[in-house]
Amino acid sequence: MSNGRIGVVYLTDGRRDDLTYASTVALGLNHKRPLDIHIVQSGFHARPPASVEGFLQSSGHRLAVHALPAADNMRKGHGHITATAFAKVDAIASISDQHEIVCYLDNDTLAMRPLDLMVAAPAHCPLAAVPDLSISTGLDNRAFFHNCEKHGLERRYFNSGLLVIDVARWRDSGIADRYAAAISAHESFCPYWDGSCVHLDQCLFNMAACGEWETLPICFNVQKSAFQTRFWDNALIRHYTGREKFLPSRAYRADKQERSLLHRISLACPDLGIRTAPSFMGLPYWANRIRRKAPRSTISGLIEEHLAS
């Protein structure tokens, strides 16, 4: 039965729980109303750091830990994305009896400034999400629009690092069942890529949703493809896609906002062992911004074009 609070769920296999707990603390620092935060652990069980539990409780939030069986070893990951990604649907289901609204978040996300996830709750559809900024713009997949037309798919395509779900509509929609049914077929053929695919669960979610999703403002999930653009600067939530995450902190990729937030997290939860660069280390970031002028301009233009379409 719903307790009236938003349920936020993270899924982890324990490999990068430095990210998981830093992300939960950032959310606790910046969310405008009390949350129930659920850490779903795939194939293991461990208590969160004491300081994380203490901080979230003192801030009015609640933290719970749940266990799922280990991911199916027959399913293979790709690069930094592990087979655990397939268990997102199970992680969502494990807490859905407790909430009317559930927000799934990848652990490589950081809430950068005050926000309210209730504002992102879908009004009419099973879920709300943000477009994938590198795929739906054609940056990573030049044939994306052609493949969508070829296989009868919508050109809209969301990033699965943030999913805001209306639980009742989600259950009635059949998305979870369609996701499970499509896993085997997708391993050999992805219609978005017209062949093999490295995006694992994300294409599956888009296929299973069948267009039944509401588009959120980009600020709720600004993926790292928009790094150093105005979208990155103004993000409510940054999503550190790719191999390089926000930890360990690196001067060339951490701006003033990020350094300040990581410093606040380190003060709230010292046992996380987060080290932040001193303020003068903004110089490498500035130099990196100059070096990346061309790719930054390219993705900015593609996003602006996408928003205008």
- Say which CATH number the domain at 172 has: 3.90.550.10
Beta-strand runs (E) in 176-247: 213-215, 222-223, 237-239
Residue 161 lies in a domain: yes
Sequence letter at residue 130: V
Count other Cβ atoms within 10 Å, centred on residue 210: 14
Q: List, for residues 191-242, the tens digit of each pLDDT value.
A: 999 999 987 789 999 999 999 999 999 999 999 999 999 999 999 999 999 9
Give dist(CA 245, CA 159) in Å, integer. 17
Task: Tell me how long the chain is.
Answer: 309
Residue 72 is predicted with a pLDDT of 56
Residue 71 is predicted with a pLDDT of 63
Give dist(CA 71, CA 13) in Å, integer. 9
Q: Where are the alpha helices (DSSP H) in 46-192?
A: 50-58, 88-95, 144-150, 167-173, 175-188
Residue 235 lies in a domain: no
Structure tokens at 45: 């069980």
Residue 2 lies in a domain: no
Q: pLDDT band at residue 76, thresholds of 50, 70 and 90?
A: low
Q: Which pTM was predicted?
A: 0.94
Strand partners, 159: 130
Contact (Cβ atoms closer than 8 angstroms) between residue 128 and residue 213: yes
Is the link from the previous residue into 126 a cis peptide, with omega within 30 of 0?
A: no
pLDDT of 2 strictly over 70: no
Give dist(CA 259, CA 280) in Å, integer. 11
Residue 207 lies in a domain: yes
Give dist(CA 58, CA 43) in Å, integer. 29
Give dist(CA 61, CA 74) in Å, integer. 37
Residue 278 lies in a domain: no
Q: pLDDT band at residue 78, thresholds of 50, 70 and 90?
A: very low
Distant-in-sequence, close-in-space partners of 74: CB < 8 Å, separation ≥ 6 = none
Greater model confidence, 257 or 278: 257
Of 72-76, 219-223, 283-287, the range with the highest mean pLDDT is 219-223
Count: domains in the chain = 1
Across 261-285, average pLDDT: 88
Residue 280 lies in a domain: no
* Host domain of residue 107: 7-220
pLDDT of 303 strictly over 90: yes
Residue 29 lies in a domain: yes
Report in angstroms the alpha-carbon separations of 56 from 22, 171, 256.
Answer: 12, 30, 24
Residue 279 lies in a domain: no
